[in-house]
Amino acid sequence: MKRVAVIGASGYTGRELGRLLRGHPSLRVEGLFGGREGVAPDAPELPVDDVLERLDWSRIARCDGVFLCTPHATSAELAVRALDAGTKVVDLSADFRLIDPEQYRVVYQHTHPAPELLKEAVYGLTEHARGAVAKARLVANPGCYPTSILLALRPLIDAQLVDMNAPLVCDAKSGVSGAGKNPSGRTHFGASHENFLAYGVGTHRHAPEIRLHAGTERIVFVPHLLPVFRGILSTIYVPPAAGVNARNVAACLSERYRDERFVRVYERGMPELNRVQMTNECHIGVADCGPFVVVVSAIDNLLKGASGQALQNMNLMLGLDESAGLS
């Protein structure tokens, strides 16, 4: 058995990890810890079998792996200390998703606490970074919106099926859990119930991450807030290269993900949220639509978009079956 811990276990992603780890055949949970040293955590909403504990670095040092479910800036400092203790780290914050510390400063409005680790961190889009993840000691878990978009888009760009001189429009919708546990004027029940809106248009922090890891600045990303708790559905308007249509795109995606446990490419029809909620799967559908090929991608933002993918990555880092604890 390998030992792991979750730091920041009271948030949505930390709670999901606690649930997944309870059924893991090869991982023993050393502790579910609060995210701030010296602060007694309080999380009455956790399942009754989970106990949230004060952060204890002597116990972290006994671990083979640590999940960081803490806010950006906080995570980077915790990652440094965990790595120094000899444990492998999967960071679910945004702290290691960008490579350039100056870009990080512009996007997140503060100086990166550990810029020396930015180039070491592996961007853990698991199906596209499996070999690098398996060798890594620090993995940056992708954001939920980027996961839904990049899984659908990366194979098409790699295969040169996209007209890279035209904009790629990514119209994505997320449930309110994507905003985290702390409520805001937009995400509490009274504001989100029976409502639907675009937000962060032109300013969302995931846009630079998507462009960086797609390898193009021509992505137009517009996020929306759905009146549901969990799930992301992304509609991507792909300008096809000359002679390319939906049949070519679907064939490319089907071939790329033919042997993947957690990615399903539809032969017909389109994904829906209720087919992926509470799973670690990404479902993808393709159709011709006027001058575009439309690709629709659906994931559970808390699982494939966060905790599930984090567990995939940690499994690889510790030499375990990638799907352990996720079936």
Class of domain 2-142+305-317: alpha beta
Give every CB contact of residue 231 below 8 A, 6+ residues apart in sequence.
174, 175, 273, 274, 276, 277, 298, 299, 300, 301
Active-site residue, 144 included: yes
292, β-bridge pairs: 289
CB 59 within 8 A of CB 31: yes
Q: Round the average pLDDT of the chain to a whole number and report it.
A: 93
CB 65 within 8 A of CB 39: no
Do the two domains 2-142+305-317 and 144-301 of this chain adopt the same fold?
no
pLDDT digits (tens, 9 = 90+) for 182-207: 666 666 777 777 788 999 999 999 99
Report the distance separating Cα 259 and Cα 128, nearest Å. 13
Half-sphere exposure of 289 (CA within 13 A, CB side): 13
Domain boundaries, the chain: 2-142+305-317, 144-301
Report the distance separating Cα 300 and Cα 304, nearest Å. 6
pLDDT digits (tens, 9 = 90+) for 117-172: 999 999 999 999 999 999 999 999 999 999 999 999 999 999 999 999 999 999 99
Q: Whole-model pTM above 0.75?
A: yes
pLDDT of residue 327: 81
Q: Reply yes or no on whether the pLDDT at 58 is more than 90.
A: yes
CA 127 remoteness from chain centre: 12
pLDDT of residue 300: 98
Report the distance separating Cα 110 and Cα 105, nearest Å. 5
Q: What's the CATH architecture for 144-301?
A: 2-Layer Sandwich (3.30)
Name the catalytic one among 144, 170, 252, 282.
Answer: 144
